[in-house]
Amino acid sequence: MANNIRAIWETDPDAKPKERTFADDHVGRFRSGRLVGKAPESLNSWRVTTGDPVVAAKIASLFGGEPAKWETDKEDATEILTDAPSVGIIIENSDALDASMKLFGMSGLVHHCDGVRFLSPEEEKGDPCGCPPAFQDRKDRAKSGRGPKPSVDLTFKLADAPELGLFRFNSGSWELVKVLHNVIADIDKTGGREYADDDTVLEKGVAVRATLSIENVSYTTKAGRDVSYNKPVIKVTGVAEAAQPADLPMAA
C-alpha cells in the first residue's frame, strides 16, 4: 500500500507540522542560563531546549520540570527547566569536545581563533590572531568587548536515554577552559585512545561515561567582598559499556 502521508496536508498546508531538519544532528541543547528580559540569569539546574516533543517529554520525566514554549526563532522552541544540577552522559571520544575563541559583532562572527592563530575565515586561517599571550589579559580584553571569549562545544548522549540521540552543550566559561586539557586527557585515557607523535590516532578507543554538572563557587575576597558564581563541570567516570547507572540527584 502506498504511503500517502504527504497528501494529508495538500488541502491545508498551513496546518502542516513543522518539519524536523536537524541541520546539526542534535536533538536538543543543555543550557546553564537564560535571558530574563534582557538580563542574563545563571541557573542552578540544567535548562534543556528542543524542537522534538518526544525528547521534551523524556527530559521532563527523567530530570523534572515541564515542557514550555520560549521565545526563539530557532528550531528548539520548547524548554524544560529541570530539577537536575547533574546528569549522566556518554561521550564518544575527545573529538566530541571542541574549543576555540570567538568574538561576535553586528555582522556575526568577526574573530575566530585558537588563542594563537586564526581558525577562520579561510583566507586568514593559520595567520597570527594578535591575542595577548597572558590568560588574564585575554579575559580582560574579552570583558571589555575588544577580544574573543571561549566557545566550548560538547556533543554527547544521555546515559539514561541514549536512544534519544545527540545533545549539545556550549559554554563560554573561562573556568572550564582552564581544565579542558585535563578533561580531554581523561576521556582519552579512560576510553583507551592512543596517538602517534604527530597526533594521528592510532587506537580509536571506546566511549566513556561522564557527568555534566553545574557547580556553585562561593568565597569571600581579602577585601571582604562576597563572590558567587556557577561553573560547568565535566567529570569522566568510566567506560560507557562497563559503567553502572550513575547515582545522580534528579532534583535539587
The tens digit of pLDDT for each residue in 75-92 reads 999 999 999 999 999 999
208 part of a folded domain: no
Handedness of CA 27, 32, 36, 38 (dihedral sign): negative
- 70: which 3 cell numbers? 520560549
Q: Domain for residue 63, yes or no?
A: yes
Any domain includes 212: no
68 and 110 both lie in a single domain: no
C-alpha to C-alpha distance for 90 and 183, rounded to whole angstroms: 14
Residue 229 in any domain: the answer is no
pTM: 0.83
Q: Is residue 117 part of a domain?
A: yes
Is 204 in contact with 93 (CB distance < 8 Å)?
yes
Domains of the chain: total: 2
Domain that holds residue 56: 23-84
Residue 248 belongs to a domain: no
* Res. 2 pLDDT band, cuts 50 70 90: very low
Last residue of a domain, one of 63, 84, 105: 84
**pLDDT one-digit tens code per residue, 130-139:** 999 999 999 9
Q: Which pLDDT score, from 0 to 100, does residue 38 have?
A: 84
Q: Please enumerate in sequence order all residues whose Cβ is within 8 A of that of 27, keeping only pairs 6 or more positions apart, or say none.
A: 50, 52, 55, 164, 165, 166, 167
- Residue 13's pLDDT is 58
Give burial (CB, 10 Å; 0-12/13-18/19+) of 235: middle
Examine the domain organization and report whether 102 and 80 are in the same domain: no
User: Are the C-beta atoms of residues 33 and 41 closer than 8 Å to each other?
Assistant: yes
The pLDDT of residue 25: 85
Q: CA 37, CA 111: separation in Å to the nearest integer? A: 27
**Residue 222 forms part of a structural domain:** no
Q: Would residue 190 count as lying in a domain?
A: no
